[in-house]
Structure 1
């Protein structure tokens, strides 16, 4: 049986991978081999997703984390290459824009194995972001680019990708499939609202983890001052990323918000479904907010999901206390209609068929 190797390493990739793994298993036309790079090593950011979402157990766990970008990516390439030489898959599937994404794509391409990049074509146009570098390089060396939006297609066209021997598709966003499938189960598997004693209460869901927000004491203080002010009006529930936890301690920043451990997917769905709005610097959570019909305050200077901003579902505020607070007030009093078809339908099935086509090409 022909093989598909899937590279996973971070929370959003576990979620996206779960959708495709389920389809590969149901079709039973290819053997899937999962490599977990270990980029997210906290149990609540990694293992719990495999347990809850019934993702097939990784055949390989590289346990590579806590290193600089160069060291992490380099070690991943070396380790993944060895596995690919042994397994000899027809294609390697990578998701998103992490170091795991780029490492998997480079390792495969260097030894002549086809690459499929899921969530291709996104651009922040901020080259200081490691994720931007990862996604651009991965797009350029892939054989199949699965784009979530028309804007992603347009970005690739403007960069000249129509001149390359690459298959480009607008499939939609695979995270929508995940949300639709697992949302039905979340109430049975999650008791997070009861544990936090917030069932039936109004609260704001927040996550902060990006390098540009956590590597400066001034920037991180500004964000947490805003969250603290909002917390006096509505409780702010903050699943705390390990990087942010370390920086808060290092910078001696104290907060009164409701700090909790990183949550599993079912718990996050329940938090999203019941919050009043979302404040985040995460790309994935911006869309998950939309899927749950919640407006999102984006604590960044740009977003890859420009359609969310254009349609009023999200607003970019930067790490600016005044902007965060003003947008919080604005969103409390706003009422928007959500475009159900914005990110496609049956996305995982479409991606699977395109991968099958590339394998058999």
Structure 2
């Protein structure tokens, strides 16, 4: 979702910015990986490192081991990384140690929760990257507090919203998505509408009691509002492992396999509310003006709460139920679109990076 608009902007830039797309293979489930390339009209990767699963240490080390020969062979002028996954940090470490400049897209976001692996990836990547492209102005304050000089930071907006606006008109209808999954479409066509659920964070789904509690709350929600639960493989596996399948059975919760980008975009756009622990969905619901209840204690995207449609409810049963009641009673929190979430963030990145690379070349 982040790389597709960047590659389009690089190709359309005058002159075009030549690129090589390296896919680490960190996300290896076909429905969550291959389908995204199709949905986003993203070119197939020039190189796929096929790293696959593993612990954080194993995955990070394997990305580094496989990425280094790519840099040795192709000698790029710059490495651009996005987001906060293990691949982001791993590729940054390899590039910086070889003297290759790094640009980090979606820099400066902080939850200030060091228990989140993504937070470690974010902090370390930002410390050593050369260019830091931010999605919201508050990110600069985060970076300055960590001793990063402001000259390395560029506020460009949110490339996730570039993807959303580019693809909104071709999003798949919820009816088609449910029919493809052989699910009953009457669930989403009732008078009260429907909610969308995603859960995948280890803190929410890896412990039996926590997962049982959250599924119980979702069952309560479903008595008031039918739910479409797009189930991450990790979540589904844990539901089965802990013997909790009965808690998501019945005609008020529709469980779907992992969905493609266009399917999720269509489901969210028509939803009454989204219940999630995903960072990306907090941003997308803000752009769509759809109320979002985030089942986490903190967020690295505070602008979605301050200006957008997001409300932090944690694992608080009453807060979750109350948030749904508010949506049903009066439509819920809609917010407004944050600054520079206008569909042109990738173009601003392309313009800035091209100038920076030319300046660097002339200086040498």
Q: Which moved more, 1:333-342 or 1:295-304?
A: 333-342
Out of 224, 241, 244, the position equivalent to 1:253 is: 244
Can you list the C-alpha shifts for 1:90-109, whole angstroms capped at 9, x where unaligned? 11111110001111111111
Match of 1:3 in 2: none
- Go from structure 1 to structure 2 and tell me whether the alpha carbon gap of 1:190 and 1:40 turns closer, same or farther (over 3 Å shift): farther
- Go from structure 1 to structure 2 and tell me whether the alpha carbon gap of 1:160 and 1:234 turns closer, same or farther (over 3 Å shift): same
Out of 294, 297, 303, the position equivalent to 1:301 is: 297
Cα deviation, residue 311, structure 1: 3.6
Match of 1:277 in 2: 273
Retained in 2: the 8 A contact 1:172–1:347?
yes
5+ long unaligned stretches in structure 2:
none
Retained in 2: the 8 A contact 1:206–1:280?
yes
Can you list the C-alpha shifts for 1:113-157, whole angstroms capped at 9, x where unaligned? 110100000000000110000000000110110000011111112
- Scaled by the length of structure 2, the TM-score of the pair is 0.90
Match of 1:211 in 2: 202
Q: Which moved more, 1:233-242 or 1:314-323?
A: 314-323
The residue matched to 1:244 in structure 2 has which SS? helix
Match of 1:10 in 2: none
- Go from structure 1 to structure 2 and tell me whether the alpha carbon gap of 1:212 and 1:343 turns closer, same or farther (over 3 Å shift): farther
2 CA distance for matches of 1:157 and 1:334?
A: 40
CA-based RMSD of the aligned residues comes to 1.9
Count of equivalent residues:
345
1 CA distance for matches of 2:85 and 2:77?
A: 22
- Go from structure 1 to structure 2 and tell me whether the alpha carbon gap of 1:86 and 1:272 turns closer, same or farther (over 3 Å shift): same
Cα deviation, residue 168, structure 1: 0.5
Match of 2:59 in 1: 72
1 CA distance for matches of 2:303 and 2:267?
A: 23
2 CA distance for matches of 1:79 and 1:171?
A: 31
Q: Is 1:26 aligned with 2:12?
A: yes
Cα deviation, residue 239, structure 1: 1.0
Cα deviation, residue 238, structure 1: 1.1
Equivalent residue runs for 1:116-155 within 5 Å: 116-155=103-142
Retained in 1: the 8 A contact 2:277–2:296?
yes
2 CA distance for matches of 1:334 and 1:76?
A: 48
Cα deviation, residue 337, structure 1: 4.9
Q: Is 1:230 aligned with 2:221?
A: yes
Match of 2:233 in 1: 242
1 CA distance for matches of 2:330 and 2:128?
A: 43
Out of 259, 263, 280, the position equivalent to 2:259 is: 263
Can you list the C-alpha shifts for 1:252-306, whole angstroms capped at 9, x where unaligned? 1121321101111111111011110100000000111111111111100101111
1 CA distance for matches of 2:48 and 2:328?
A: 44
2 CA distance for matches of 1:312 and 1:334?
A: 17
1 CA distance for matches of 2:174 and 2:274?
A: 22
Out of 301, 306, 314, the position equivalent to 1:318 is: 314
Q: Which moved more, 1:256-265 or 1:109-118?
A: 256-265
Q: Is 1:63 aligned with 2:61?
A: no
5+ long unaligned stretches in structure 1:
1-14
- Scaled by the length of structure 1, the TM-score of the pair is 0.91
Cα deviation, residue 56, structure 1: 1.1
1 CA distance for matches of 2:355 and 2:307?
A: 35
Cα deviation, residue 189, structure 1: 11
Cα deviation, residue 190, structure 1: 8.6
Retained in 2: the 8 A contact 1:190–1:270?
no
Retained in 2: the 8 A contact 1:278–1:295?
yes
Q: Is 1:173 aligned with 2:170?
A: no
Retained in 2: the 8 A contact 1:189–1:266?
no
Out of 340, 351, 354, the position equivalent to 2:352 is: 354
